[in-house]
Structure 1
Amino acid sequence: MLKRYSTVSDISETDASSSRRDFDSVSVASNRRRYKGHKRLSSDLSEPLTTAGTSVVDESLGSEAGDPYFVFRNDLQRKLELVDESLAEFLRIVHETDTAVNIHEFKDAKKQLKRQIKNAESTLKDVSITVQAVENDRNKFSHIDDSQLFDRKALVDTSRGRIQHAKDELNSESVKNKQLYDERNKAVRRSGDGLLGATNDEERQNTSFIMDNQAQTSLLMQEQDETLDELGEVVARVGEMAGAISEEIGHQNKMLDELDEDMTNVEEELGMVMGNLAKLLKTKNKGQLRTIVCLSLTVVVLFVLVLYF
């Protein structure tokens, strides 16, 4: 019989190889059932994606091709399919390979799944906004009846459920236990026979305790590495944004300099015009000059009004 491995310390050194074979056979069978169940779940949840909405002419949004809901819905469907594919690949790597050996493949699959989940969440937010807009103003979107609105809300709920299911599988106890199991076996292989010179039961228990701690420490370090990698990506994106902001500020400063130069030229030209006007009127009183200019403009405006009206 296969021993439970919810705690790694329950796995003894003497039956490690037989337990490994049993674990592999049961894992494959369990994993197949999981894939089949996951496939049925994906099919059931995907149904609103293919049945929701009909082609109705909309005075404000246009036809189905012009309704942003349908654009976001199709995009969401594609991204949810990518989430399902990434999740299936991630579970395959976890349950059918040694995660302690294929650590790079495991990390890549995990990173890919996280990326697809984030993309799907972003598009789901856009779909939710379109549905909320229709629900908040039923008079404006009267062409969308209650059954269509219900289908759209069902799409949002089922899509959110699929994304949450992927998140739960990503951080499930079975995944963590399998990682711990593989790390423990890796520590045993490194030690040779896995006994570390133990000659009695008490020493074997101490050795098992040491192996368990090594496995947990290794997993903790992997999680810290993943966190640092994600933090590094965030810092890189912030750096790119800062560079773009700096470039934009440079362009705006250049535009301000050009505007300042143009204003200086206009002031000089205006001063020349005022000087010529003062010579023409033989006065240097700026108040009088402004009054003359304002009256002149008023005459021009009144002339245009009389001419056209």
Structure 2
Amino acid sequence: MLSLEFVFTCYSLSSEYEVIYIQIDKLQSTFHRWEQTASNTGEYVHLTKELLTSCESIEWQVDELEKTILVASRDPAYYGLDEVELSRRKKWTGSARNQVGTVRRSVEKGKSNSAASKYQDTSRTNLYSSQDNDDFISSESDRQQLLMRQQDEELDELSASVQRIGGVGLTIHEELSGQERILNDLSLEMETTSNRLDFVQKRVAMVMKKAGIKGQIMLIVFLVVLFIILFVLVFLT
């Protein structure tokens, strides 16, 4: 808070001092609001920047006033001042500098503590993130191994199925080869039988031609008798 002596002195000085007084009063108000704000909020960061900027601006103005007082102290009468007035002004600028310096140090200390706290939070977050990453990698590794085992089992089953299909195909091939041999043998026998039948037909035709009509009748009778005999032998005995 601004002291009563500081306020009274300010009002008894020139307008330049009044401007600085108003700025210091605003600085103190902002500083009290900064103290009541949580350090992990955006408003806290904004107020910190605002306070440091205000401190820098006020300190620069106080420096300029001190330079002016130093020049006036060389010839006070020329500037219409006396030693008492110069002492008051020096005391006022010193008090203003102390108040601004107190605010600056408090803000810088709070900023450092906030940064340290933020660093600790970040470190903990990074630690948790690292642990989460390790857990995730371990989980992914286990999942990949499980998938690989499942794929190996599926490949084994597929290999067994292929072997079974290959065995069935080989069996079918062997059966087809056997059927082909049987068909070839049957075709050969049919061809042989056909040749024999042609030969018999030709011989019969030659015999029929040589025998004439009587011979053909006798042959027919002979065949009928032979058929009857064979029928009796087959069906009646």
Tell me the TM-score normalized by structure 2. Answer: 0.38
| Structure of greater relative contact order (alpha carbons < 8 Å, 6+ residues apart) | 1
Q: Which has the larger radius of gyration?
A: 2
